[in-house]
Structure 1
Amino acid sequence: MWVTLDSAGSSVDTTVFHEDGIISGYRHPCSSATDCIISLFQLTNETVNIWTHFLPTWYFLWKLLTVILTRDVWHDSFTWPLVVFLVSCCIYPLASSCAHTFSTMSTRARHICFFFDYGALSLYSLGSAITYSAYVIPDNWVNSLFHQYYVPVAVANTIICTALACYSRLGFPFLQYNRNTIIRFPEYQFPKFAKFLRIVAFAYPYLFDNIPLFYRVFLCVGDGCTDNNANVLHHTHIALAFLTAFLYTTHLPERLAPGSFDYIGHSHQLFHVCGIISTHFQMEAVEQDMVTRRQWLLTHSSPVAFADTLGAAMLCVALSLGIIFLFSLPLVWSGNQGKIHGDKSPQSRAAAKGCWGH
């Protein structure tokens, strides 16, 4: 069920499946959907990746349902930013666990799976910005010019960064890859540049979203700085977020001892765990700010609007799905060519799946 990539067969294009410092524990790169699901209950180098995001999905779903059932979300617009944030907290680990589960069905499936993963992460970034605008922004920035344009810029960042992350895998659809050829730029030819683009796509919206929080907890002094008990939770979230980024960019500890952390303890597993714990503390901090600052914000801030909360989230979901469709279309189209032309040979079926080199 699991292999070293060298043993997967000369006809299988395995480059896209390889991770730095991980030698063994790979699933076969042409697994069926059933094989992928069965692998959830076998120890591979993806098993912990999957479960560390699948199980927290249910925790965040429970938190979302608790808010919906205990707060008057249908009539109290002040709760809408929290609902959007919690929905994004449910979607991003679920998308990640599904991507890790089914990414070994073929090279094309792997790309498409992670396109959805990137879109979900961008939505989570927007959810953070929406809650920060409503509950976290310091008192002396409320209704400022920055506050007025903060969510619209976050919406633009979400769309741009989804596209940039998808671009980092294969390049521009139809220009650098299409139904006849897949020129794997930049991930194959320039893997470090591809990783850099992906880091930028994730780091930039996080840093922008956190401008009001960084100012509030690190720079602001005197009146209007919103110094309350939530700040301790915010500090914890920030520390864990930077630890998460460190693990993602450095590939430690497996780079120091290749093969020693193939199944348990490699950086992507630690990245998942730290990211989820960071999200938990972020959620707790946001909820505490919402409760503690509610009366002051209702008095001094502009009313929470549908356009800046649920509307912004739905717009981003629609546009992100459009971007994912655009990047995925050449892969799906290419994968169906054998079927369209009635070629039933094993080689054609394998090539159609993206299991053979191109």
Structure 2
Amino acid sequence: MLLNCGQPLPLLRHTDVPPRVIENFILTGYRFPNYSLKDCLLSAFRPTNETGNFWTHFLPVFVFFYHFVEVFGWESTPNGDDPFFYPLWNYFIGVFCLLMASSLAHLLNSMSIVVREVCFFVDYGTISAYTVGSSLAYYYYIHPQAGLGEMREQNGSLMDVKQENLKSSYAMSDLSIFFDTFYIPSACVVAIFCVMSCCNTRQRWRQYRYVIRTLVFLLPFFISSTPVFYRLLTKSPYSVKSSSFASSSTMAIYFYRHCFWLLLSAVVNISKIPERLAPGRFDIWGHSHQWFHCFTFLSILDELHMIKAEVKAIILSPSLLLPPGIPPRLPGPTIVSTYGVMLLLQTTIVSIIVWFSWKANCIYGPQKDQLEKEHMKKHAKCH
């Protein structure tokens, strides 16, 4: 460990850090990968090239939470622990883990090369967990028959004609097998594929890593968004004059904005603009990864608004809520179908992260002492 004589550890140029740490077109503001945990935490308040990356995903945690809890203050809303909200809580878990893992990965990655690798493995894992959390929310709130139960008259007889009309105008039988059987499993399989692909870019395909990481997450977007595409192309299940229709009709604009921010985030992440245009000028503030964080959070925020609009539409339509004791068209959320799915996914992702972390330790672990010795020769004295 370097002696800092009570002073903050010096920030370095790209020529003074291991090639593994260097980011394209970022010339200064680097932390050498041997910081203590305390040094890493304190660096959040120093102008390094990771400071903005930390804050642009840490502060949004509180913004997201503020907009999320609004749901539980609505009139006639079930209790927060009601099974109706299980998918929404899983979505919250996915977003919270994504934002926290990303911010901490950027803050703690200078402890060592191995820790740096593990930090970003975890980061990729939480991105995939977030996509499955989104899929669960889409499935139970935006699914073609989300919240639709067998509607009954007061005397208990089935309203067959009304139900058949609803089915024929709204639900497509040729897609029901996909939605009911393959949608969630497909989202999980794709998420696992994405984690493995992104982790691999840290050990191979380095030249194209930003392109691969960006493109590989387009696949889960298209899979997860299938219910939204369906809803946009079919008739609304709600009466045009109802409050539910007014709430649900806002879904489209939120989804289009969600897509816009995702596209913008992909463009800046691949192009490395603006630092590509002026290397060294955006080392601390304003480089592409900070904009990438901002745009991805704006996409998440619009996605949250979209989900909330659908949740509100269901709540405002008592006739479409799942009546107790009546078998619904779409089985209601359970602990197994929501938290159980996320737990199984997370267990698989953790196993993948452990495997890649072990490989990273085998590759970079032996280099730690050599790196420190080389750096000590250059910075043996306190200035």
User: Normalising to structure 1: TM-score of the pair?
Assistant: 0.80
Distance, in Å, in 2 between the alignment partners of 1:168 and 1:333 is 17
2:333 aligned residue: 304
Identify if the C-alpha distance between structure 1 residues 350 and 293 changes in structure 2 by more than 3 Å, giving closer, same or farther. Answer: farther
Q: Is the 8 A contact 1:50 1:100 kept in 2?
A: yes
Q: Alignment partner of 2:293: what SS?
A: helix
Unpaired runs of 5+ residues, structure 2, are: 1-9, 146-169, 239-244, 323-327, 375-383
Distance, in Å, in 1 between the alignment partners of 2:47 and 2:131 is 32
TM-superposed deviation, 1:48: 0.8
Q: Alignment partner of 1:268: what SS?
A: helix
Q: Is the 8 A contact 1:31 1:106 kept in 2?
A: yes
Distance, in Å, in 1 between the alignment partners of 2:236 and 2:98 is 37
Query: Which letter maps to 1:231?
Result: A
Q: Alignment partner of 1:200: what SS?
A: helix
1:199 aligned residue: 214
Name the % identity.
31
1:330 equivalenced with 2:359 (yes/no)? yes
Aligned residues: 319
Distance, in Å, in 1 between the alignment partners of 2:371 and 2:30 is 24
Query: Which letter maps to 1:164?
Result: S
Identify if the C-alpha distance between structure 1 residues 348 and 286 changes in structure 2 by more than 3 Å, giving closer, same or farther. Answer: closer
TM-superposed deviation, 1:155: 1.2
Aligned match of 1:317 in 329, 332, 346? Answer: 346
Q: Is the 8 A contact 1:64 1:83 kept in 2?
A: no
Tell me which moved more, 43-52 or 22-31.
22-31
Tell me which moved more, 325-334 or 256-265.
325-334
1:144 aligned residue: 176
Cα deviation 1:214-269 (Å, max 9, x = unaligned): 3433xx15565986123222222221121112221211121122222212211110
Unpaired runs of 5+ residues, structure 1, are: 171-184, 340-345, 352-358
- Bigger Rg, which one: 2
1:72 equivalenced with 2:104 (yes/no)? no
Q: Is the 8 A contact 1:58 1:90 kept in 2?
A: no
Cα deviation 1:143-198 (Å, max 9, x = unaligned): 8112111111111112221111111211xxxxxxxxxxxxxx332xxx11x33332
TM-superposed deviation, 1:63: 5.3
2:44 aligned residue: 40
Q: Alignment partner of 1:261: what SS?
A: coil
Q: Is the 8 A contact 1:57 1:91 kept in 2?
A: no
Identify if the C-alpha distance between structure 1 residues 348 and 275 changes in structure 2 by more than 3 Å, giving closer, same or farther. Answer: closer
1:2 aligned residue: 11
Aligned match of 2:188 in 146, 155, 158? Answer: 155
Q: Alignment partner of 1:257: what SS?
A: coil
Identify if the C-alpha distance between structure 1 residues 141 and 155 changes in structure 2 by more than 3 Å, giving closer, same or farther. Answer: farther
1:269 equivalenced with 2:276 (yes/no)? no
TM-superposed deviation, 1:59: 3.3
1:235 aligned residue: 256
Aligned match of 2:205 in 186, 198, 206? Answer: 186
- Aligned ranges for residues 204-283 of structure 1 at < 5 Å? 204-217=219-232, 220-222=233-235, 228-283=249-304
Q: Is the 8 A contact 1:137 1:212 kept in 2?
A: yes
User: Normalising to structure 2: TM-score of the pair?
Assistant: 0.75
Q: Is the 8 A contact 1:88 1:127 kept in 2?
A: yes
TM-superposed deviation, 1:307: 3.1
Distance, in Å, in 2 between the alignment partners of 1:131 and 1:141 is 19
Distance, in Å, in 2 between the alignment partners of 1:244 and 1:103 is 22
Q: Is the 8 A contact 1:77 1:305 kept in 2?
A: yes
Identify if the C-alpha distance between structure 1 residues 37 and 88 changes in structure 2 by more than 3 Å, giving closer, same or farther. Answer: same
Distance, in Å, in 2 between the alignment partners of 1:305 and 1:134 is 11
Query: Which letter maps to 1:210?
Result: S
Distance, in Å, in 2 between the alignment partners of 1:251 and 1:337 is 32
TM-superposed deviation, 1:137: 2.9
Q: CA RMSD in A?
A: 2.8
1:58 aligned residue: 62
Identify if the C-alpha distance between structure 1 residues 322 and 287 changes in structure 2 by more than 3 Å, giving closer, same or farther. Answer: same
- Aligned ranges for residues 279-290 of structure 1 at < 5 Å? 279-290=300-311
TM-superposed deviation, 1:60: 3.3
Distance, in Å, in 2 between the alignment partners of 1:338 and 1:87 is 36
TM-superposed deviation, 1:332: 3.8
Distance, in Å, in 2 between the alignment partners of 1:250 and 1:120 is 24
Query: Which letter maps to 1:37?
Result: L
